[in-house]
Chains A and B, each alone.
Chain A
Amino acid sequence: MLVSRTLLVTFGLALSVGWVGSAAAYHTRFVADNCNYAAPTPTSVITRDGSAAVALRARYEGYQWAGGCWNDNDRDDSPGDPTTDAGTGGEGGDCSGFAFKVWRESLDTSDSSFQQWGMLRYVHGPYTAAAFKAGSGAPNVTVSKSALIKMDALASDGHIGLVYAVNPDGTDQIIEAKGEAYGTNIWTRTYRGSSSYSGVRRTGWSS
């Protein structure tokens, strides 16, 4: 009786210690287990509709600061990642990494060609939200916000979202990687009117 109780208690305590001690490493697993570093596929015909399809595949997936790899199972596989650590290896892009992959841009900022990245390719790209806002990089230009159409973007110094549709009340449906607590999804936003945001366009669409 004493033997089994002792074994049980120490087992239980040790189980807890082992779990707590290893939990910190949990959020490093998604990228390590799922993502790849494959080369992108150059492609000549790129449409706004095709980019919308790429964006929709990321819908309901996670958000990872400085990240850029997600699967398509409609859930955040690494919820609750610490938001202050860019290296936790969790699922999802951040806002600018998401825009980079959806706009199918090159890692070379002087290259405006289209590069198809797989959703499991771990890549963030060279642009921050502020860089997109400024129209940095060969493929990107700033445009008047009133001229924005679907899959153009609204970018501030800290965030970027892509225009998905317009609502009758003058708001926009924005598809975006919003934050760790939000993941990637479509929400109604008022970025267009806000002076914090500028209009940005990826150039070179086929249609």
Chain B
Amino acid sequence: MRRGKSLHLRLALPLLGLVIGCAAGVASVALGPAAAQRTGPEQRAVFDATHLPPLLTMPDERAELAYDVYCAAGDDEGAEAGCDVRGAVFVRRAGRGSFERLALSSQKSNGGSGQLAARVPNSLASQSGGFEYYAELKAPDLGERVTIPAGGADAPHTSRPLENPVDIALGRHSFGGVRRVGVRLALAAWGDGPAQAGLEQGRQLGAIGPSAFDVDAAGTVSVLDQAHRRLLRWRKGAREPIRVPLSIAGTIADLAVGNDGSTYVLESTAEPGRNALVRRFDDAGRELEAIETAERTSSQIRMAQDGALVLGHRSHHWMPVTVGGVPASPEVQLRRGRDGRSLRTGGEIVLFRHANELRVAMISGRSMTRSWRLTSATPLAEVQLAEPIEQRLVLVVRMYDDDVDEFAVLTVDRSGLVDQFTLDAADWAETAPLSRFRLVGKSLYRLGSTPAGAFVDRFDLEVR
């Protein structure tokens, strides 16, 4: 009798555990996420603003500062109602004096969201060194405010007049014109093999391939194969890449290789409520640091003399992610933001594309040492690269119309345009936005892709 009872107990207990366990398991899955998902509409206020800073101006241009403001309270039904938005810009002569407040006025009759603008007085706008400014915008009813650029008075925008720029008229671009054949340094077919490159989202849903690359002084080519969370690294002359695993998100990211061999990866996605990270890895792929960037979205990472810089938006500012070799907090990054990108060789470069016109200035201290104004009868898209070589400047600009596009490689100096050639777009797979070209020494490197795979070519520039 006792034995029979014990047998029943031995059978019943596991059965009981099984039933309770299964029920708990199912409940934990079914109820847990459901509770987490049933967050309700939580319709919060919408408040955002954008601003295209007139970084480089011509003497005959009106100095008007305009801000597009998007503001809505309540739900989607109230999207058209806008809200009360007020603001001011604070302006001063570049590097001098205190900021003067100029009220921003609405360009819309309803006084709600829309465009706010202020005209800078000629007494400031006509200064040879330009003027500095920042804006504060607020929606009092919503308790929202924004400063643009985010560093405020510590890191304002600088609007500089181009004085005697080198004028270069490119005319109408002839697509399929002069090409230059490069040297193929790296080639990776699409796939999951050890020497192949991965495609995010497959071929049908907007193919995204290796999203960035860089080349170090020794000629080693590093391609960020983010879909496989690794670098493919071709030593100079090597036919097969070395694979370096990286702990990255696996989404579009930009890449820069430092002089010390460190690899910097700028992510484009982030954890909820956080900004994207810059991750630094050593030569073997060990993560050394993960630094949160300061702004909602960042588009590029590049090396300067003393560390990596990230281009953040909405401020459109280049910000250091380290200061004195130490990771910088987002607040410090914002306070050190600049319109121009500091170069490894010193000085900085400022770009401003305005319709079919590209303005470029080299800055040393607060002085503009050289400037160019390139005009085109063909639309200009993004400036993929702007790097000096000695006294010259190499620009890679995408020219486009509605059916075709290609990259124009332009070498300019104080006398004007000294060399140019074009390259086919070779952009079958998407990359990080400005990661298709790098300049090292006197060679231009390009990351391209076709339906067959990704490649890196080198073009030796004729710089005497």
Identify the A interface with B (CB < 8 A): 3, 6-23, 25-26, 29-30, 33-34, 41, 43, 45-47, 49-54, 56-57, 60, 65, 71-78, 83, 91, 116-120, 144-146, 150, 156, 158-159, 164-171, 173, 179, 181-183, 185-190, 192-196, 198-199, 207
* A45 in contact with B55 given A18-B26, A168-B352, A179-B200 (CB within 8 Å): no
B13 on the interface (CB 8 Å rule)?
yes
CA distance A46 to B15 in the complex (A): 63
For the A-B complex, the count of residue pairs with Cβ-Cβ distances under 8 Å equals 262
Q: Is the CB of B21 within 8 A of A194?
A: no
CA distance A146 to B52 in the complex (A): 17
Complex contacts, B33 vs chain A, CB 8 Å? 26, 29
Nearest-Cβ distance from residue B256 to partner chain A, whole angstroms: 16
Q: Is the CB of A49 within 8 A of B381?
A: no
B72 on the interface (CB 8 Å rule)?
yes
Q: Is the CB of A21 within 8 A of B25?
A: yes
Nearest-Cβ distance from residue B142 to partner chain A, whole angstroms: 12
Identify the B interface with A (CB < 8 A): 9-10, 13-26, 28-30, 33-34, 36-44, 46, 48, 50, 52-53, 55, 68-72, 75-77, 79-80, 82, 108, 113-114, 200-201, 204-208, 249-252, 268-269, 272-273, 296-297, 299, 313-314, 316, 339, 351-353, 356, 358, 379-383, 397-400, 402-405, 425, 427, 433-434
Complex contacts, A34 vs chain B, CB 8 Å? 37-39
Complex contacts, A198 vs chain B, CB 8 Å? 402
Nearest-Cβ distance from residue B275 to partner chain A, whole angstroms: 11
CA distance A181 to B229 in the complex (A): 14
Complex contacts, B72 vs chain A, CB 8 Å? 50, 53, 57
Q: Is the CB of B206 within 8 A of A159?
A: yes
Q: Is the CB of B250 within 8 A of A72?
A: no
Q: Is the CB of B75 within 8 A of A15?
A: no
Q: Is the CB of A77 within 8 A of B353?
A: no
A171's partner among B251, B272, B433 (CB-CB below 8 A) is: B433
CA distance A62 to B83 in the complex (A): 27
Nearest-Cβ distance from residue B179 to partner chain A, whole angstroms: 17
Q: Is the CB of B433 within 8 A of A50?
A: no
Q: Is the CB of A173 within 8 A of B313?
A: yes
* A179 in contact with B205 given A18-B24, A190-B382 (CB within 8 Å): yes
Complex contacts, B38 vs chain A, CB 8 Å? 33-34
A11's partner among B21, B316, B427 (CB-CB below 8 A) is: B21
Complex contacts, B55 vs chain A, CB 8 Å? 168
Nearest-Cβ distance from residue B388 to partner chain A, whole angstroms: 16
CA distance A29 to B23 in the complex (A): 18
Complex contacts, A7 vs chain B, CB 8 Å? 13-14, 16-17
Pairs A–B under 8 Å by Cβ, sample size 25:
A7-B13, A8-B17, A10-B13, A10-B15, A10-B17, A14-B18, A14-B19, A19-B29, A22-B25, A29-B30, A29-B33, A33-B37, A33-B38, A47-B80, A49-B113, A54-B79, A65-B205, A71-B39, A83-B201, A170-B358, A182-B268, A187-B252, A194-B425, A194-B427, A196-B427
B17's partner among A6, A20, A187 (CB-CB below 8 A) is: A6
Q: Is the CB of A193 within 8 A of B398?
A: yes
- Sorted nearest first, the 8 A-B pairs with minimum C-beta distance are A18-B25, A14-B21, A193-B381, A10-B17, A188-B299, A170-B353, A165-B50, A75-B272
B206's partner among A51, A118, A179 (CB-CB below 8 A) is: A179
Q: Is the CB of B80 within 8 A of A14?
A: no
Nearest-Cβ distance from residue B146 to partner chain A, whole angstroms: 13
Q: Is the CB of A53 within 8 A of B46?
A: yes
B351's partner among A22, A29, A158, A169 (CB-CB below 8 A) is: A169
Interface centre among B29, B40, B316, B352 (most CB of A within 10 A): B29
* A187 in contact with B82 given A71-B41, A195-B400 (CB within 8 Å): no
Q: Is the CB of B400 within 8 A of A145?
A: yes
* A118 in contact with B24 given A169-B351, A181-B250, A181-B269 (CB within 8 Å): no
Nearest-Cβ distance from residue B7 to partner chain A, whole angstroms: 13
Nearest-Cβ distance from residue B112 to partner chain A, whole angstroms: 9
CA distance A186 to B40 in the complex (A): 24
CA distance A183 to B270 in the complex (A): 10
* A49 in contact with B206 given A15-B21, A17-B21, A193-B382 (CB within 8 Å): no
CA distance A9 to B15 in the complex (A): 11
CA distance A121 to B198 in the complex (A): 36
Nearest-Cβ distance from residue A46 to partner chain B, whole angstroms: 7
Complex contacts, B50 vs chain A, CB 8 Å? 164-165, 173
Q: Is the CB of B22 within 8 A of A14?
A: yes
Complex contacts, B205 vs chain A, CB 8 Å? 65, 83, 158-159, 179
Q: Is the CB of A43 within 8 A of B80?
A: yes
